Structure 1
Amino acid sequence: MLMAHPAVLDHLVEEYSTLAALHAEAGGPEVRARLEVLARTLCTATGTADVDTALIAARHRLPGARPEDDSLLAA
């Protein structure tokens, strides 16, 4: 599987998290479309099927991540 560069993952996670924090899903069609594109891109870049799993996988691949800590996956 191809792996996205950490800088790309960092940018995707940051932008998705920002839009999600601003409740972009309730925004205009352009903002909602961008959120959907980011979610699909994160899923593709991490080889996952849903955005929540993609965010966890992406964060584990970023510099400084603690890959041995899978406590988020246990939920």
Structure 2
Amino acid sequence: MMTHPAVLARLVEEYEVESELRAAGAHGPVRQQMEDVVYTLCVSTGTRDIDAALAVARERLRTVRFGGVGGVDDGEAAARGGRTLSGTAG
């Protein structure tokens, strides 16, 4: 089963934000959030490390945007609407 493009887009975005926070010296909850996002990206893409997970996620998103099956536009709108993986505001 493939992860919906909206979920992948949101996970990549969350990873990038967490990476910036971590680079800025944030600690504590940021570390756990980063670990959670990395784990979820790896599971969602069927990979074992973050570099591979990001590459797969970005390729799937690129494919969907440029001629793949299904549209990412609706998914991106949902992701920007503040929904988390559980579907609640977050």
TM above 0.5, one fold? yes
Verify the 8 A CA contact 2:22 2:30 in the aligned structure 1: no
Say what the alpha-carbon RMSD is for the aligned residues: 2.0
Instruction: Using structure 2 for the length normalisation, give the TM-score.
Output: 0.64
Match of residue 49 from structure 1: 48
The unaligned stretches of length 5 or more in structure 2 are 67-90
Distance in 1, matches of 2:24 and 2:40, equals 17
Deviation at 1:28, TM superposition (A): 2.3
Tell me the number of residue pairs that the alignment of Structure 1 and Structure 2 aligns: 65
Identity of aligned residues (%): 47
Match of residue 4 from structure 2: 5
Q: Kindly report structure 1 stretches of 4+ aligned residues shifted beyond 3 Å.
A: none
The unaligned stretches of length 5 or more in structure 1 are 66-75
Q: What code does the residue aligned with 1:8 have?
A: V
Match of residue 65 from structure 2: 64
Verify the 8 A CA contact 1:25 1:32 in the aligned structure 2: no
Distance in 2, matches of 1:24 and 1:33, equals 15
Larger gyration radius, structure 1 or structure 2: 2
